[in-house]
Structure 1
Amino acid sequence: MNNKQILIYGAYGYTGELIARQAVAQGLKPILSGRSAAKLQPLANELGLPAIAVSLDDKETLVRTLQGVAAVIHCAGPFSATAEPMMHACIASGAHYQDITGEMAVYQQAHALDAEARAAGVVLCPGTGFDVIPTDCLAAALHKTMTSATHLTLGFDSDSGFSPGTAKTSIESLGVGSAVRRNGKIEVTPHAELTRKINFGRGEKFAVAIPWGDVATAYYTTEIPNIEVYIPMSPRRAKKMQRMNAFRWLLGMQWVQNWLKGKVEKTVRGPSENQRAEQKTWVWGEVRNDRRGERRVGRVVTANGYDVTVHGSLAVVQHLLGYHGEGGYFTPSRLCGAELVEKLPGSGSIEIGID
């Protein structure tokens, strides 16, 4: 790929706009794209960038738009609906694909397209933001210290607020439940069924398992067959989540989903720059081999989730602009190395010990 042009799709969304602005600050001149020309053009005019409005439903136009583009940063959710058509368009046009999703189904879709992407020489690397760079890199680093590990547990403690896109993704999981990996297979579990106490890095906290993307991606990175991901939650809120299990059938109905997502659009705006600057994230991980009685714990502190997403996605796209390796599906750590998270602004070093 000699042409070093990149395209940001969904550039007028909360996170897409942050990425577009930082890309310009780094000297890049991306093409801005998305469904709506009316929403796209003001940002393009302000940043002095080209803009192309195109629907993901218009496959032929989308493929033509990507001709000559070296890499796409896909920021338009919900990715359960938008990722697959963009991945197919990237494979057809020869553009590397990355996105900022945390949705497990998207990782599974990308993994299923591995052979097709490899044949086309195209990299598919979903999850190049806070979902899942920090946890994926920590998982890879932990696995390196214990290649015989049979269990991997990850988690993070963050004060970051939700953007509209992240809130909508969370709503989609309400009607499904949580998820873990057992003996190599993903299992759906009731909300807040699994709980434990974890010191993420600022004191021990009650925590619950959530359907985070690493249930898929960390397995692709490490092949550890048993994986869980946790976040801190008050016992009172966990009880509310458990009661919600009785209504999962209702929460999964399309009209309820649409109603809840409509409320998000009216009320959720995402954290301000000043709010983001004050927020950090404590990422924790544990590998075990119970048969041998072995255990290792790792931690890394990062900037807030949105800054990690902005700088992480641009670090990956810079890597892809100089990439000469094989195509196929990659997790962030498999593409860029476990040290990727340590290179991001606001991140510390991965520290691993027995506790």
Structure 2
Amino acid sequence: MSQSDQPMPEASALPYSRSRQLPPYRGIVAVDAKDFTGYPAIEHGMISQAVPQVLQWSFERAGLAEVWHGRRFPASTGDGYVFGFDPAWMPFLIHPWLHTLQEVLTEFNVNSVGTVRIRLRVSLHIGPLPDSGGEFDGNGTPRNDTHRLLDSRPVKAMLAASNESITQVAAILSDRCYDDAVAGGFTGRHPDHFIEVPATVEGKRFDQRAWLYVPAPSGNLYDRRVLGDAVVGEHERAQAAAAEPAAGQADGGRAGSGPVSYRADRGNVNGGGTVHGGQHVTNVEGGQQVTNVEGDQQVTKVRGDYAGRDFVRGDSFGGDYVAGHKAGTVHGNQGDTFHGDKKERRR
């Protein structure tokens, strides 16, 4: 055979070198036992053996024995377990399986008083992974990300901050998993059961949006140690906005033409800008500064100095009539009679 008849060498696996089919999409589930390294070494083997046993019980009790028996590229991680499955089952792993796993672990821990207690972190993800029955199947970025999610700060902190007698499972879903199964409406849990978190891993270049789900929550779900300041701050701002009455129009948030009322007992009411509409000030003791009030102004029971900047247009009710600049001439009766500037001596 001449050299020209030799077959071309098989294409390498270098990325971006040629187009090829995607591997099949697989759901990936990984679990880790909390504080595994904190147990004496003599108990590590017991925990490694108990974790897959608990998983099998939970899948069978949840009516998902088919998923367990059909698992792809299963592997023990020492303190946990990982395997792939048909992603069509993902909604059922989110619910009811996670809830059933919580129940099975509760029973296991109650019956193992004085011995090992197991609490599990769970991560769920979806992505393309090699799955041809080979020795090295299941390796790829989705598998790596599943383990990163499992080691991320929010799910670890959630399990640590919760009551060990109540919360046995804390799960974290990748954004892809959440979008496909939860936001898509395919799982038996409303999106409000899930909390968005920034998933980061100390010492690793990993930062993704993810979603926490705790079947039996305890403690403070909005703990800053769990969710991070950014997420908690956004939650607090949303709560504050929901508590405030609707205000502002489409003109950039400027107040509408309705009256504006302020109450400042034993203090000051200061206006830093223009108020459009009436202004009603009640029971103010001390100094008061009003800036750029357009419309009616009612002042009741004011004690102390009353100074106005810029201009006041309209009528002022409450027994007094003020016209022009309020720091200048005041016409009318304000309890005592003044003629001219209010800063002059009383008559």
Q: TM-score, normalised by structure 2?
A: 0.23
Higher RCO (C-alpha 8 Å, min separation 6): 1
Larger radius of gyration: 2
Q: Which structure carries more helix by proportion?
A: 1
